[in-house]
Amino acid sequence: MRIDVNGEVCMGHAMCMSVAPEVYELDEFGYNRMGAFAVGDDRRDAATRGLLACPEQAITAEPEA
């Protein structure tokens, strides 16, 4: 699964990291600026929980080709 975090849209609510700290990281100001990255099958459910928790919908996902 490929995750893309739009750092311009992130407002720093930290909901992604609060529900999936094994996948998402915040910068020193509390914003998610991770950009695009791949997630293995072992973290797919956690990545999806974090994506769904984002109030700004700053996180999107698509299957890896």
Q: Where are the domains of the chain?
A: 2-62
Q: What mean pLDDT comes out for the span 30-55?
A: 97
What does the DSSP assignment read for 16-60?
HHHH-TTT----TTS-----EEE--GGGHHHHHHHHHH-TT--EE
- Average pLDDT of the chain to the nearest whole number: 96
pLDDT tens figures, 15-30: 999 999 999 999 999 9
For the domain made up of 2-62, the CATH class stated in words is alpha beta
pLDDT of residue 64: 81
Report pTM.
Answer: 0.92
Q: Mean of the pLDDT values across residues 32-44?
A: 97
